[in-house]
Amino acid sequence: MILALAAGCEDEPLTEPLASLSFRFESAPMPVDGRCTASSPSPLSGDSGDLVRLTYRDPSNGTLICDAVVEFGAPGQVVAVPERSRVSVIAEQFRDGALVAQGAVADANLSNGDVTIGLAAAERFSCAQPMTGARAFASATRLPTDQVLIIGGLIAPGDRNSVVLGVDGSPLLATASVELYTPGTGFETLDVPGLLPRAFHEAYVAFAPDGGPVRIAVVGGLTVAGNPAETAAVLFGQPGAPLRFVPAPAAQPAPTEMITFDPATRSIKRELIGDSAVPRLMAAVATAPSAPPVVVGGWAAADRLATVDQLDVLERASARTAGSAPAAASRVGATATAIDSERVLIWGGHLAQNAPDPVMGAAEVATLGPPPVSTPFAPGPGSALPDARAFHAAARDEDGSILLAGGFAIGGGVAIEPAGNVVQQVTFAGAPMLGNVPLAGDVPTPVGYLTASALDGGGVLLAGGSPGSAACGSQFIGVDCAVDRAYLLRPGADELVEVADGLIVERYGHSALTLSDGTVVVLGGIRGEQGVAEVLREAESFNPASALRDPLADVGIERAPGDIARDGDGDPLAPCGLLQAP
């Protein structure tokens, strides 16, 4: 479908418009045999009677310029927009009042030419272009340019992307490779001389001046001593191991590094930060912009004989330690999630958990000070009992609650099989309260190594994971099992709903990140079957758009599905002109 736009005065006849622009609508690339390959987008498909709502906004301040509703596929349609040099455009496809697909262009130049708007199915996953290399347990950091920097991760040995489990200890290597993802364009590899190979780490934007180089701190995780192309970083799928992934003998705790990246020139450099958090393996790292970064727990060495029972608070811009305090419990595979600018919730990972009281050691709350202090989490009366879990996912919703999902149940120093209560939620209005979150419909599959992504406008997306070993008949403690199921907690809802069709590619150990347009990009991870684990380079995106999420809600405008904006009397608020081409 191609639609013409004219920039001029919408109340005057269209003769010689000041500028014209053709918009071409396309669907996301289609999967091939259940995989997201490097396929091309296809023309947008629709039914007669479908409507397309076009919303034009000022790219400098987001205000509404005008909106219009046109018939899908009708020839010769022209939308007249008040005179502008640039606009942001949101296109929504409706069928029988339901939102079918949505897409946007953030800043279109109204000069003669074509602009393509990719429309993705609403509340569904769609294929994206694949990464340049396969990786799992990497970090993905959104830059101020809305690009994504993907750092490190685990890779398969040699030139293959899969590992036959039970052979040579089933090793995976750590990589120092870096990719830059530009939405709408794809991935490119960046060379960062001297960067350490690492996995199970986090990265955050430390400093971002307007238009200048961006500093990204890389914190936590494991690296290796020796040639990273030949030295195992982790061993996985070993019967009798306490975890599904354990550090290999040559693994070491990775120190903090700072990357300086100039988006304009693509130049990038790295420096070591010597007085940052104590290096540790599989620690929890909180990186939310609303609070100082926090690092807590983890093993002191690959032998797993001692944990680092210390909480380090970092100065955001430098990534140097601003304060430290004893942790309330020993933790490996925990999560750390900012409650607000002064507190962080640290959950799970207490591998020493043996007591019949499941509250003991389940979580702690760090007050960041100065000086910082961390105390055991004390839920209020009437709260649910917390599951002792590790390698789960956590996300803070816009309403201030924190969702805890999945993970492996802890007992006797072992965390192999998924925890029973799949999703729990902590609220902080008064005394902290912990409750179980039900699913509308079937019971969700318990998994670990999943992702939880907070959505713009509220809500949380849960995606993927590795289920119990019995779920797929695994002989390798479940590492050759992954699920494609995904769940959505909509804004203000008290139960999860399953995302129709789920992920296109089942996976665990992937990265997931919410972009400025509201979509969630899912990168890499591991899938497997029958004793083989494959590291993925495939990417896909989730479009949270629904009729309940109006693109103008952020400026206080709510529209009926498939209709333009109207005032209190029902009259059009800011209609575009609808014209026929001569």
pLDDT, tens digit, for every residue of 94-140?
A: 998 889 988 888 777 766 566 777 788 889 999 988 999 999 999 99
* Cis bond upstream, residue 370 (ω within 30): yes
| 528-560 residues labelled b (16+ CB within 10 A) or e (exposed) | beebebbbbbbbbbbbbbbbbbbbbeeeebebe
E strand or H helix that includes residue 65: strand 64-71
Chain centroid offset of residue 473 CA: 29
> In terms of residues, how long is the chain?
582
The pLDDT score that the predictor gives to residue 245 is 95
Q: State the average pLDDT over residues 222-226.
A: 95
d(CA 509, CA 120): 24
Best mean pLDDT range from 73-82, 106-115, 156-165, 353-362:
156-165
The CA-atom distances, in angstroms, between 410 and each of 23, 33, 51, 352, 441 are 54, 37, 52, 8, 27
Q: State the average pLDDT over residues 193-204.
A: 97
In this prediction the pTM is 0.90
Q: State the average pLDDT over residues 546-567.
A: 88
Dihedral-angle region of residue 516 (phi above 0 means left; psi in -120 to 50 means alpha; beta otherwise): alpha
pLDDT, tens digit, 9 for 90 and up, residues 260-314: 999 888 889 999 998 899 999 999 999 998 899 999 999 999 999 999 999 999 9
Q: State the average pLDDT over residues 440-454.
A: 89
The CA-atom distances, in angstroms, between 462 and each of 136, 358, 381, 450 are 17, 24, 28, 7
Sheet holding 451-454, edge to edge: 451-454, 460-463, 486-489, 497-498
pLDDT, averaged across the chain: 88
E strand or H helix that includes residue 435: strand 433-436
Q: What is the DSSP string of 491-521?
A: TT-SSBEEPTT--SS--BS-EEEE-TTS-EE
Best mean pLDDT range from 103-107, 340-344, 467-471, 541-545:
340-344
Q: What are phi and psi of 36, to 5 degrees?
A: -95, 95
pLDDT, tens digit, 9 for 90 and up, residues 16-72: 443 455 666 777 777 888 888 766 676 667 776 789 899 999 888 889 999 999 888
Domain with CATH 2.120.10.80 in the chain: 126-543
% of the chain exceeding 70 in pLDDT: 91
What single-letter amino acid sits at 54? L
For residue 364, name the pLDDT band (cuts at 50, 70, 90): very high
What single-letter amino acid sits at 300? A
Class of domain 126-543: mainly beta
The pLDDT score that the predictor gives to residue 443 is 72
Indicate if the pLDDT at residue 160 is higher than 70: yes
The pLDDT score that the predictor gives to residue 386 is 87
The pLDDT score that the predictor gives to residue 19 is 46
What single-letter amino acid sits at 412? G
What single-letter amino acid sits at 537? R
Higher pLDDT, 220 or 72: 220
Tell me if 25 sits within 8 A of 4, measured CB to CB.
Answer: no
**Measured on CA atoms in the order 367, 371, 374, 375, is the torsion positive or negative?**
negative
d(CA 65, CA 82): 7
Q: What is the DSSP string of 222-273?
A: EEESS-TTTS-SEEES-TT-SBSEEE-TTEEEPPPEEEEE-TTT--EEEEE-
What single-letter amino acid sits at 10? E
Q: Which residue has the tokens 């069709």?
A: 501
Higher pLDDT, 329 or 72: 329
The pLDDT score that the predictor gives to residue 16 is 41
- Identify the CA nearest to 377 among candidates 422, 335, 410: 335
